[in-house]
């Protein structure tokens, strides 16, 4: 069966604001708990080790109005922040037993506080991940922070989280990461068989289910890709950077790819591919996790890079994927992305790499302007050796 | 009554910028530092010249220079959504002006230290500057402060990072670290902070001899630029004396105090004077504000400088920017009570998310749940295009008119 059927099936289940997946999980696991996790990376491994369901709460994909959230958060707050709060205020997230917010930006920080004020009965865990990843003091600090999180998760779960459970959970997430990496390689090597938008849907499918169930879907996808024929060769291979937190509409990626551009790599849902290599499965798991965060997180816009090169992720991705150009796709009002964009543009211009800058919001449904930009880029690429269309 | 404290603060600011690039100081190395989580005392120990990019941006905004500089920053590729302080400073340093401002020439850095204490934009700002100037960047990451305050782990982490900075400071400055010298500097800081808190406490009096926002932001300059020096101590002794004299004569900066306000949020610098007039014309004085407590102790010091390194780590964690939302709400409730305010003014600035996120919700909490009238306004710290005079004036007038009517329905408070 071609991959497209699986994608269709998965897409039909995406973004139901009532979160039926949580109900299904709790029905299948009486007494089971679910913990919401705001992007990008929160220690989901610890939640799973506690026997609970980690649920990525990353906005509502434009599926709900923002009336309540707009009464609490200003208009210059990114849509993922506002719609995530709206889900809460509208009562869609009553099934959650707690919520985690990582220290990715001021929106996540502020949102954690506003959330807690509106939900005083349930734990809200704001995690301060060290930014000074090179400091010798960072590891012991992060271990203390992870132990604090562990204590709270244990109190929610009503049971201790053992070291064995943590290591077992790491193994599950390692397996999922391995499958996602294999799919990434396949996409880069055969973009005519497996598109960026399809890859995206496969990742979206893992937002609300345990990693082992997501792995089963990814394994199915890999099997089905063997039966999927090659399609039309793309005109241009591009990496897409900047959409690491607020989810771009699937339709946006499809609109880009319909015009002959293949998105051969990207950083959407970056939390699912947060580690450069697998988590260690022996020893002290808290120490492992702390050490991994400090040394093995992929280059990204929200953790400080001591080497001072915010474009590391660009170079690496282009080399690995033999990409021709860069799509700089950032969510409106996303400060970390906007800051890094200027650096990415400079790198592209310095090395004569074609690029396209687009800004999106999760609520968008019409992408005619993006289609026109893509067409212009393709035409320019045909005519000239380099034609950046940054705007 | 002459405002000698403001004049004196202005002279110290002028002197600061003059000395930044004076001939006799050119051999001293330059460190760029940020205000939140700032540990300027450490760098005074090594005799660094201290530049604060935010202060550059403030002074550009106050002198109506920021529009052109923001455009220069945008020409460098920083989009509309990026903080206007950042664009303004990058426009000043990396644009056609090359660091030359009417108030002084800003020397390039030999070292940039990101004091990450509530604002992740600092990191991007520092990266942009270091890319241009090719200097090393170091960091002091200050953990988020929850309601219960900083933990031993938080302080140990900060202390460890401060210790790690010392070899770099020695190497770059060519000066050996002298812990006794640091101790002496920190004693001056402790005195300065205590005097500052004492000054702000005058806002509790009726009438308040101090406008805790529209005047205090100017009195704050020595706290930011001269902390750890005898000049700062002398300055605040003068300022406290002035307030004491004002209090004795029942002087009010608004002449007749009719409303007492608590301000939350940052100043709209390009239109600050105009903004202040909108309130003063109603006899509305800012009894207190949180902005003036941003970079230092909000509630007085809980430890002394006997152990200099530990005290420095403690100071780094005091920034209001870095507090949890819940902690800020509790603090505002406390200030509202202690300063006996009639209303709260929440000025949301587009560029500054650490300060602004949650202000709408905060308005709802205070107005609806605490019964304290709260006005929510929107502007920006450096970009005047986000300050709509007509709209803001209209909202302020309507609000204060409403407050007038509300006060008529209540018995007058009798308090000394």
The residue extents of the domains of chain A are 18-159
- CB within 8 Å: A132 and B116: yes
Task: Name the residue of chain A whose CA is nearest to B159's CA.
Answer: A137
| Residues of B in Cβ contact (< 8 Å) with A335 | 81-83, 120-121, 124, 353
Query: What residue ranges in B80-157 does DSSP mark as E strands?
Result: 100-101, 104-105, 111-116, 137-141
Query: What pairing do the DSSP bridges indicate for beta strands A98-102 and A124-127?
Result: parallel
Rounded (5°) CA angle A144-B114-A38: 50
| Residue of A342, A346, A359 for testing the chain B interface, max B β-carbons within 10 Å | A342
Going by C-alpha positions, the residue among B94, B147, B90 that lies closest to residue B122 is B90
Q: Both tokens of residue A348?
A: 């592209």
Q: What is the pTM of this model?
A: 0.95
Q: According to the model, what pLDDT value does residue A389 have?
A: 42
A257 touches chain B (CB under 8 A): no
What is the rounded end-to-end Cα distance, in angstroms, of chain B?
A: 22
Crossing angle for the helix pair A3-12 and A196-204, nearest 10 degrees? 50
Q: Both tokens of residue B315?
A: 């100071």
Rg (CA), chain A: 20
- CB within 8 Å: A107 and B164: no
Q: According to the model, what pLDDT value does residue A308 have?
A: 53
Whether A262 contacts A190, CB under 8 Å: no
Per-residue pLDDT in tens (0 to 9) along chain A, 391 residues? 678 889 999 999 899 999 999 999 999 999 999 999 999 999 999 999 999 999 999 999 988 999 999 999 999 999 999 999 999 999 999 999 999 999 999 999 999 999 999 999 999 999 999 999 999 999 999 999 999 999 999 999 999 999 999 999 999 999 999 999 999 999 999 999 999 999 999 999 999 999 999 999 999 999 999 888 888 899 999 999 999 999 999 999 999 999 889 999 999 999 999 999 999 999 999 999 999 999 999 988 999 877 656 576 677 778 889 999 999 999 999 999 988 888 888 888 888 888 999 999 998 888 999 999 999 988 887 776 554 444 3
Q: Of the candidates A135, A335, A346, which has its C-beta nearest B81's C-beta?
A: A335
CB pairs under 8 A between A and B: 158
Give how far B386 is from chain A: nearest CA, Å: 12
User: Which fold is adopted by the domain A18-159?
Assistant: Rossmann fold (3.40.50)
HSE toward the beta carbon, residue B257, CA cutoff 13 A? 24
Task: Name the residue of chain B whose CA is nearest to A130's CA.
Answer: B141
Return the residue matching tokens 């004693």: B187
- CB within 8 Å: A137 and B325: no
DSSP string, A203-248: HHTTSSS-HHHHHHHHHHHHHHHHTPPP-PPPSEEEEEES-SSSPP
Total residue count of chain B as it appears in this document: 416
Going by the DSSP 8-state scheme, the letter that residue B371 receives in this structure is -
Pick the CATH number of B20-177 from 3.50.50.60, 3.40.190.80, 3.40.1080.10, 3.40.50.11890: 3.40.50.11890
B94 touches chain A (CB under 8 A): no
Total Cβ atoms within 10 A of residue A322: 11
For B:166-205, CB contacts with A below 8 A are none
Q: According to the model, what pLDDT value does residue B355 have?
A: 86
Give the ipTM of the model, two decimals please: 0.93
Percent of chain A with pLDDT over 90: 78
Helices (H), B207-352: 216-219, 221-225, 230-248, 272-280, 308-316, 325-338
* Domain range annotation of chain B: 20-177
Q: Of the candidates A77, A103, A334, which has its C-beta nearest B144's C-beta?
A: A103
Q: Of the candidates B127, B156, B353, which has its C-beta nearest A106's C-beta?
A: B353
Give how far A224 is from chain B: nearest CA, Å: 43
H helix and E strand count, chain A: 15, 8
Q: Which residues pair with B351 in a beta bridge?
A: none
Going by C-alpha positions, the residue among B407, B341, B338 that lies closest to residue B374 is B341
CA distance B102 to B56: 11
Give how far B94 is from chain A: nearest CA, Å: 14
Residue A379 host element (H or E): helix A368-383
| Residues of A in Cβ contact (< 8 Å) with B116 | 131-132, 304
- CB within 8 Å: A132 and B324: no
- CB within 8 Å: B78 and A105: no
Query: What pairing do the DSSP bridges indicate for beta strands B104-105 and B100-101?
Result: antiparallel
CA distance A74 to B154: 31
CA distance A338 to B82: 7
Rounded (5°) CA angle B261-B265-B266: 115
Whether A74 contacts B348, CB under 8 Å: yes
Give how far B321 is from chain A: nearest CA, Å: 10
Whether A313 contacts A241, CB under 8 Å: yes
Whether A340 contacts A242, CB under 8 Å: yes
Total Cβ atoms within 10 A of residue A346: 14
Per-residue pLDDT in tens (0 to 9) along chain B, 416 residues? 789 999 999 999 999 999 999 999 999 999 999 988 779 999 999 999 999 999 999 999 999 999 999 999 999 888 888 999 999 999 999 999 999 999 999 999 999 999 988 888 999 999 899 989 999 999 999 999 998 889 999 999 999 999 999 999 999 999 999 999 999 999 999 999 999 999 999 999 999 999 999 999 999 999 999 999 999 999 999 999 999 999 999 999 999 999 999 999 999 999 999 999 999 999 999 999 999 987 765 777 889 999 999 999 999 988 888 999 999 999 999 999 999 999 999 999 999 988 899 999 999 999 999 999 999 999 999 999 999 999 999 999 999 999 999 988 765 444 44
CA A20 to chain centre: 21
| Residues of B in Cβ contact (< 8 Å) with A391 | none
Total Cβ atoms within 10 A of residue A24: 13
For A:117-146, CB contacts with B below 8 A are 117, 126, 128, 130-132, 135-138, 140-141, 144-145
CA distance A76 to A332: 9
Taking CA atoms, B359 is separated from A127, A234, B341, B368, in Å, by 22, 48, 18, 14
């Amino acid at each position: 069966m071609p991959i497209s059927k699986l994608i269709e099936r998965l897409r039909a289940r995406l973004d139901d604001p009532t979160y039926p997946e949580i109900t299904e999980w709790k029905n299948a696991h009486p007494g089971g708990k679910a913990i919401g996790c705001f992007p990008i990376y929160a220690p989901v491994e610890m939640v799973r080790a506690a026997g609970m369901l980690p649920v990525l709460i990353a906005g509502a994909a434009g599926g709900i109005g923002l009336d309540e959230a707009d009464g609490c958060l200003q208009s210059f707050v990114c849509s993922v922040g506002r719609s995530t709060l709206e889900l809460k205020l509208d009562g869609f997230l009553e099934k959650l037993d707690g919520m985690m917010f990582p220290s990715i930006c001021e929106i996540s920080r502020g949102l954690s506080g506003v959330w807690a004020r509106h939900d005083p009965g349930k734990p809200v865990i704001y995690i301060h991940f060290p930014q000074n990843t090179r400091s010798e003091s960072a590891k012991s600090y992060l271990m203390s922070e992870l132990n604090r999180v562990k204590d709270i998760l244990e109190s929610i779960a009503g049971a201790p989280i053992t070291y064995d459970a943590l290591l077992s959970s790491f193994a599950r997430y390692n397996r999922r990461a391995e499958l996602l990496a294999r799919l990434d390689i396949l996409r880069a090597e055969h973009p005519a068989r497996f598109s960026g938008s399809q890859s995206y849907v496969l990742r979206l499918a893992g937002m609300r289910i345990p990693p082992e169930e997501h792995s089963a879907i990814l394994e199915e996808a890999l099997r089905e890709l063997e039966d999927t024929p090659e399609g039309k060769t793309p005109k241009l291979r591009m990496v897409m950077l900047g959409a690491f937190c607020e989810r771009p509409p699937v339709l946006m990626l499809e609109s880009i790819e319909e015009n002959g551009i293949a998105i051969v790599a990207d950083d959407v849902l970056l939390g699912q591919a947060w580690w450069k290599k697998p988590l260690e499965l022996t020893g002290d798991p808290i120490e492992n996790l702390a050490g991994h965060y400090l040394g093995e997180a992929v280059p990204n816009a929200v953790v400080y890079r001591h080497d001072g090169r915010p474009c590391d992720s660009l170079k690496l991705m282009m080399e690995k994927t033999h990409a021709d150009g860069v799509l700089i796709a950032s969510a409106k009002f996303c400060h970390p992305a906007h800051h890094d964009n200027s650096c990415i543009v400079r790198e592209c211009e310095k090395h004569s790499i074609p690029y396209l800058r687009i800004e999106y919001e999760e609520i968008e449904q019409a992408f005619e302007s993006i289609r026109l930009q893509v067409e212009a880029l393709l035409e320019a690429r045909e005519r000239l050796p380099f034609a950046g269309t940054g705007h | 009554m002459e405002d000698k404290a403001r004049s004196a603060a202005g002279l110290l600011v002028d002197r600061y910028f003059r000395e930044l690039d004076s001939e006799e100081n050119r051999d001293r190395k330059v460190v760029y530092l940020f205000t939140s989580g700032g540990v300027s005392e450490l760098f005074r120990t090594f005799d660094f010249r201290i530049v604060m990019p935010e202060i550059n941006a403030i002074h550009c905004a106050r002198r109506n220079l920021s529009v052109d500089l923001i455009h220069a920053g945008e020409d460098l590729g920083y989009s509309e959504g990026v903080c206007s302080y950042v664009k303004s400073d990058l426009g000043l340093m990396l644009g056609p002006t090359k660091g030359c401002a009417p108030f002084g020439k800003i020397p390039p850095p030999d070292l940039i230290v990101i004091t990450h204490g509530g604002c992740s934009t600092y990191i991007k700002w520092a990266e942009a500057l270091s890319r241009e100037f090719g200097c090393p960047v170091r960091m002091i990451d200050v953990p988020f402060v929850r309601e219960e305050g900083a933990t031993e782990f938080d302080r140990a982490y900060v202390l460890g990072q401060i210790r790690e900075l010392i070899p770099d400071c020695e190497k770059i400055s060519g000066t050996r670290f002298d812990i006794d010298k640091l101790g002496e500097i920190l004693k001056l800081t402790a005195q300065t902070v205590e005097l500052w808190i004492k000054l702000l406490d005058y806002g509790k009096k009726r009438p308040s001899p101090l406008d805790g926002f529209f005047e205090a932001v100017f009195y704050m300059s020595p706290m930011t630029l001269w902390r750890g020096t005898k000049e700062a101590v002398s300055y605040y002794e003068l300022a406290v004396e002035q307030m004491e004299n004002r209090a004795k004569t029942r002087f009010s900066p608004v002449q007749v105090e009719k409303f007492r306000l608590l301000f939350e949020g940052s100043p709209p610098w390009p239109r600050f004077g105009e903004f202040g007039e909108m309130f003063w014309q109603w006899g509305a004085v800012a009894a207190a504000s949180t902005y003036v407590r941003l970079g230092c102790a909000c509630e007085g010091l809980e430890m002394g400088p006997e152990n200099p390194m530990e005290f420095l780590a403690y100071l780094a964690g005091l920034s209001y920017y870095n507090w949890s939302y819940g902690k800020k709400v509790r603090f505002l409730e406390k200030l509202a009570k202690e300063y006996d305010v009639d209303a709260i003014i929440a000025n949301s600035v587009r560029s500054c998310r650490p300060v602004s996120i949650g202000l709408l919700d905060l308005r709802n909490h205070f107005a609806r749940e605490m019964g304290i009238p709260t006005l929510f306004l929107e502007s920006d710290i450096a970009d005047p295009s986000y300050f709509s005079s007509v709209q803001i004036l209209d909202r302020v007038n309507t609000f204060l008119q409403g407050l007038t009517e509300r006060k008529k329905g209540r018995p007058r408070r009798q308090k000394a």
